[in-house]
A and B are shown apart, each in its own frame.
Chain A
Amino acid sequence: MRELKILAVVVALTLITYWGVEPFAHSQMHPHVEAADFEFENVKEDISDITALTGNAAAGEVLVTTNCTACHAIKVKGFPEVMDHASAAAAYGVTPPDLSTAGKLYDASYLAAFIKNPAKASMVEHKFVDGRAHPMPAYNWMQPQEIADMVAFLQSIAPEEMTNKEVFTNACQRCHSIKYADMKNGTMAAYTPDENIKSYMGKIPPDLSQMIRSRGHEYLETFINDPQKHLEGTAMPRVGLTEASQEQVVSYLEDIGDSKKAQREELGPKFLIYLVIFAIFAFLWKGSKWRDVH
C-alpha cells in the first residue's frame, strides 16, 4: 500500500510538471485561432451577384482563352507554357500557374472572387500599396455573368481525381520547395528561382519537408486556409483550396515529412505487448525470490 502511495505522488508530480511545460505552455505561447472554414466570408459579399448565376462553360472557354493564355498555360486545352519557369518568374515576379487544374483545386466562389480582385481574395492587399500592383490584374470590369462563365469553364476542364503530389505541385510548388520528396534529384525545388521569389515575397518561402513535424496538422489546416490568422501581415496568399484539396496537401506533407508513420504505428503495439509479458514474468520472479525473505 505504501508503495502505491509513493507511486501516486511520483506520478502526480510528473503529470503536473508535464501539464505545465507542454499543454499549458503551448496554450500560452500559441493563442487559439478559429477553426478552418471554407466560406471565404470576407469576399462573399463582393461576389454574391456572380454566385447567384449559372455559368456557361462554352462561353467561358472563349473568355479564358482570349484573356488568360497570354500568361497562363492550360496544357489540357493545348496551351503550353509561354516561357520557362525562370523567365516567367522574371517577367511576373512569380511563375504563373497552369489553369488546367484550378477548377478542381480551388473553391468555385473563391475562384470568382480571385478573378474579380486577386489581392483581396488572397488577403494580401497590404503588399500592393504605393503603386505596386498584384501581378494578376483584377477583372472587376467584367460582367458577373462573364466571370461565372469562366469559372464554369475551369471547372469543366478540371480532372476528376488528383494525387496528393499533383495537388501539392499545382497549389504550392510555385513558391515552396519540398526537397525531401526527391532528395537525390532535386526536382521538387520551387519553380520560381530564389532571387525572384525573394524579391516578390520578401524572403524565400520555407522548404516544406518538415512542416508536418514543426507545425503539426492543426496549425497547417488553419494556416493554409487563412495564413493571416497565424502570421498577420504575411506575404503568403490565401490560395483558396477546397477542403478536400487542403486535406490532400496536408496528407502529402505527412507522406514526405513523416514517411515512417505507418511502420511506427504498426510496430508500437507489438513492442508494448512484449513488454507487458516481460513485466508479468518479472513480477512472478520477484514474488518467488521475495517469498523467502518476508
Chain B
Amino acid sequence: MAKFEKANSVGEWLDQRLNLTTFNKVMMTEYWIPKDINFLWAMGVLLATTFGILIISGIFLMMYYKPDIGLAFDSVNYTIMQEVAFGWLFRHMHGVAASVVFLIIYIHMFTGIYYGSYKQGREMIWISGMLLFMTFSAAGFSGYMLPWGQMSYWAAMVITNLFGGVPVIGDALVVWIRGDFNVADATLTRFFMLHVFLLPITIMGIIGLHFYTLRVPHVNNQNSEEFDFDEEAEKYLAGNKRESKVIPFWPVFISKDLAVLGIFLIFYFYLVFFHYDFAMDPVNFDPANNMVTPAHIYPEWYFLWSYEVLRGFFFDIAGVKAFDVGLIAFAFANVIFLLLPWLDRDPAILPAHKRPIFFIWFWILMADLIVLTVYGKLPPTGTNAWVGFFAAVAFILLFLVLPIVTKIDAKKRGAL
C-alpha cells in the first residue's frame, strides 16, 4: 500500500486517496482536442446535456406514471399534465428532448460521415456511436408506447408484428416479445421496465465506452489533418498556445461547447413552451383502442426513413413476398451504417469536399434520407408508393456503390 501522510486539507486528503490532480489532468485540462474544429464538434456535449435532461425529467415523470393499461393514459394526461405541479413542464421537456436528441444524433452522425471520422483507427468510435443510436432508438420506441394512446398502441402493434417475419421462430418470437398474444398489459409493463431501467443503464454504459474510444485515436478535425498530439500538447504546455494545433478540453474546448449549448437551449426551450406539439402526435391524445385503427399509422419522425425503406417494397419481387423483401431491406438499413468504416475503401481520411465523387454521394444520401422521411409519413398510395419504392432502392444502391465511389476518388488523387 502507498504511504499516506497527514493531509492539510480535504482536497489533499482526497488527492492522496483518489489522485484527483492526475485524474483532472487526464480527463479535463490535458485532454487534448484539435483546435481546427467548428460548432459541429459540440454535438457531443449537446447530446450529453439532452440525455441528462431526459434522465432528470424522466425520474420526475416516473414518480406519477402508472404502467397499467387501465391507468396509463390518465396518469400521463391528467395526473402529470394537470394535477402535479409543473408536471406539464417535465412532460414537455421529456417529450421534446426525446425528439430533439435524434435531430442532434443525426447531425452528429452525418458530421462524422462528412469528415470521414469513422475511418482508420476511429472505427470503435463509430461503432460505439452506432450502438448508442440503436439503444436510443429502442428507448425512444419503448417510451413512445407508455402513454397508451392510439398511435403508440398501433405503432407497438406494427413494430412487434415485424418480428413475425423472422424465419421459423417468427410467430413465437412475437408472442415472446409482447408477453401475450396481443399488445396488452404485459407488453406495457415490460416496455416500461425497458424504458426506465434496462435501456438507460445500457445507454450510460455505452456512453462511457463511446467516450473511452476517443482517448487513443483522438477527435478528428475540420481538415482531417493528422498530427502528433503529444508533440502539439507539449507546445501548448510550454506556452506556445498559438502555434499548437491542440487545445485542452477544459476550459478552452468546453467554453465553445457552452456557447453552442446556449443557442441550443434557446431553441430547445422555445420548442418546450411554444411548439411542443411537433413532438407529440395529436392522434396519441386519443386513448388506445384495439378495435379501431387510426386512419394513418406512422412512427415518430426519426424512424420515418427506415420505416419507408420497410414499406417501400410493396409488391412481390421474384417470388419473394413484398413483406419479406421489405423486412430484408429494413434489416439492411439498420445495420449498414455500422459497416461504414469497411465500405469506405479510400485509404486516407479526408473531408467530403476533398473527395469529389464521395461529396456527391454524401449529398445524394442526405436528399434520399429526407425524401424517405417525408414519404414515410404520407399515405403509401399511388405516386407516394412509387416515390417510396425508388427512394428505398436508391438508399440500398448508395451503399452498394460506396466501395467503388471511394476507390475512384482515391485513384484520381493517386493514392491507390
Q: Which residues of A contact B (CB under 8 A)?
A: 2-3, 6-7, 10, 13-14, 16-18, 20-22, 24-25, 28-29, 180, 183, 206-207, 209-210, 213-216, 259-260, 263-265, 267-268, 271-272, 275-276, 278-280, 282-283, 285-286, 288-290, 292-294
Contacts and interface: CB of A to CB of B under 8 A. Distances in A.
Given A21-B373, A213-B282, A293 B241 contact: yes
Contact of A28 (B262, B273, B282, B379): B379
Interface of B: 35, 38-40, 74, 77-78, 81-82, 88-89, 103, 107, 241-242, 244, 247, 251-252, 255-256, 258-259, 261-263, 265-266, 269-270, 272-274, 278, 280, 282-287, 295-296, 301, 304, 366, 370, 373-374, 377-379
Given A3-B39, A264-B273, A282 B82 contact: no
A283 B301 contact: no
A214 B285 contact: yes
B200 to A, nearest CB: 26
A35 to B, nearest CB: 20
B285 A210 contact: yes
A260 B374 contact: no
Given A29-B296, A268-B273, A272-B266, A17 B256 contact: no
Given A28-B378, A278-B262, A267 B273 contact: yes
A293 B233 CA distance: 13
A206 B374 contact: no
A195 to B, nearest CB: 17
Contact of A267 (B81, B89, B263, B286): B89
B285 A213 contact: yes
Contacts of B295: 29
Contacts of B81: 260
A180 B378 contact: no
10 nearest CB pairs, A to B = A279-B262, A268-B273, A20-B374, A214-B285, A213-B285, A289-B255, A282-B262, A25-B377, A286-B255, A286-B259
A25 B38 contact: no
Contacts of B89: 264, 267
A245 B54 CA distance: 42
Given A183-B78, A213-B285, A279 B259 contact: yes
B266 A209 contact: no
A21 B281 CA distance: 11
A276 B259 CA distance: 11
Given A210-B286, A271-B273, A20 B241 contact: no
A266 B273 CA distance: 10
A123 B313 CA distance: 43
A265 B363 CA distance: 40
Nearest to A9: B366
Contacts of A17: 301, 370, 373-374
B273 A275 contact: no
Nearest to B73: A210
A280 B255 CA distance: 12
Contacts of B265: 275, 278-279
Contact of A13 (B256, B284, B366): B366
Given A2-B38, A24-B374, A264-B88, A209 B273 contact: no
Given A10-B107, A275-B269, A282-B261, 13 more contacts: A25-B378, A28-B379, A210-B77, A260-B88, A267-B89, A267-B273, A272-B269, A283-B262, A285-B255, A289-B251, A289-B252, A292-B242, A293-B241
A285 to B, nearest CB: 5
Contacts of B256: 286, 289-290
B27 to A, nearest CB: 18
A170 to B, nearest CB: 24
Contacts of A10: 40, 107
